[in-house]
Amino acid sequence: MDRLTLMETFVKVAEMGSFSQAADRLGLSRSVVSKYVSALEDHLGARLVNRTTRRLSLTEVGEAYRLRCQAILTDLEEADRAVGALHGTPSGTLRVNAPMSFGFLHLTPAIPGLLAAYPELSVDMNLNDRFVDLLSEGFDVAVRIGSLPDSSLIATRLAPLRLVICASPDYLARQGEPTHPLDLVNHECLIYTLQRFGEMYPLIHRDGTSVDVAIRGRFRANNGDAVRSAALGGAGIAISPTFIIGDDLRKGRLVRILPDWMGQEQGINAVYPHNRHLSAKVRVFVDHMRQWCGKEPYWDRDLGFEG
């Protein structure tokens, strides 16, 4: 008899506290269960179970061995499930949360290809700029922008988050162009209220030096598209992510200013609850989004970040 079967039988006997009950659970006779436990004891050269007429109990050695066996059997179970997840067909409903701007501009266009590749998969997408609790709100995966707080979630980087300083040609014609980050204190700045720095922006020079700039302005919004719209209208200077304004920069609707300076580079990440194995539907979503964004994100094309 192979040792794994003996170990499984012993663990079930220890769990049930009875040869007869363990036999019922395993679909074996009581005599076979007793024989398996005895064979394991013979193999180890140690008594694992104290047998009495009332209820069996484990010896000290038996309890220590049970803990080790349980850990081994759990690991084997998880390994089997992991293989099933990796090779199984993604199916069911994938619940996704993402910020409004990124979700509308870049996540939603990627979904048709995912659905075409996996006919048994459905996607339930929730777009908002609120920080959601994946576990309590039942989301399988979320896209998060910027730095990640410490948590038990697993994160996979999809793309870099690049923040550049920009304004409309009309604004610059009227107000002039700043030549140093500290000049921003004398300009109308458009403030995104959900970014973690408040109104004190850290700006990084291409040589690695940095400066913190206190920005002020009469327009504040909790949505990046609203900031973009105000910048296009000439209301002020924005420090905005290229995934929102990349096309505006390419077409000249917005002009990058202080090009040697950027906001602190962060990340665009897919995050999902910590499980000992990754479900097939989450895995294919993450893989699809990484491929969709590209090694160098398509929204940064021709903006001078390549290489």
Could you tell me the pLDDT band of residue 84, with boundaries at 50, 70 and 90?
Answer: low
Q: One fold for both 92-161+267-300 and 163-264? A: yes
Could you tell me the pLDDT band of residue 138, with boundaries at 50, 70 and 90?
Answer: confident
pLDDT at 85: 58
Reported as a single tens digit per residue, the pLDDT across 14-29 is 888 888 888 988 888 9
If one looks up domain 163-264 in CATH, what number appears?
A: 3.40.190.290
Residues β-bridged to residue 19: none
Domain residue spans of the chain:
3-87, 92-161+267-300, 163-264
CB neighbourhood size of 225 (10 A): 15
pLDDT at 276: 43
Could you tell me the pLDDT band of residue 53, with boundaries at 50, 70 and 90?
Answer: low
Residue located via tokens 């803990």: 67
Q: Which amino acid is at 26?
A: L
pLDDT at 232: 98
In the chain, % of residues over pLDDT 70: 92
pLDDT at 83: 65
pLDDT at 97 over 60: yes
Least confident of 109-118, 140-149, 159-168: 140-149
DSSP state of 146: S
Cβ atoms of 237 and 188 closer than 8 Å: yes
Could you tell me the pLDDT band of residue 130, with boundaries at 50, 70 and 90?
Answer: confident
Reported as a single tens digit per residue, the pLDDT across 253-285 is 999 999 999 988 789 999 998 764 568 899 999
Q: Which CATH architecture has domain 3-87?
A: Orthogonal Bundle (1.10)
Burial of 190 (0-12, 13-18, 19+ CB in 10 A): buried
pLDDT at 306 over 80: no
pLDDT at 244 over 90: yes
DSSP state of 307: -
pLDDT at 153: 82
Measured in whole angstroms, the distance separating CA 163 from the mean position of its chain's CA atoms is 21
**Across residues 39-50, what is the average pLDDT?**
92
In the chain, % of residues over pLDDT 90: 62
How many Å apart are CA 83 and CA 104, to the nearest integer? Answer: 34
pLDDT at 3 over 60: yes
If one looks up domain 92-161+267-300 in CATH, what number appears?
A: 3.40.190.10
Q: Is 232 left (phi over 0), alpha (psi -120 to 50) or beta?
A: alpha
**Across residues 91-96, what is the average pLDDT?**
90
Alpha carbon distances (Å) from 205 to 169, 176, 181, 258, 263: 23, 21, 10, 9, 9
**Across residues 163-175, what is the average pLDDT?**
97
State the SS3 of 169-195. Answer: HHHHHHHCCCCCHHHHHHCCEEEECCC
